[in-house]
Amino acid sequence: MRLDRLVSDRAGCSRRIAGAAIRRGRVTVAGQVVRDPSAHVSVDDVALDDEALPAPPELALFHKPLGVHSVVR
């Protein structure tokens, strides 16, 4: 995944703002400063201003016919 997309998803900002933060050296990946917004990363250890960016919660959407009920226990 591109670094700017990952930062924008996890920080809740636009990709333009994420790209500007990356170019300014505010983002680290596995402890190393990365200044290229288009860099592809597969590491979950991403931090913005020395604060770790948590992974977004996993969501599941189900499209079901009207009248069908589902329960998760």
Helix extents (H) in the chain:
3-11, 15-23
CB crowding 37-46: b at 16 or more within 10 Å, else e: beeebeeeeb
Predicted TM-score of the model (pTM): 0.73
pLDDT of residue 51: 94
pLDDT single digits (tens) 3-53? 999 999 999 899 999 999 999 999 999 999 999 999 999 878 899 999 999
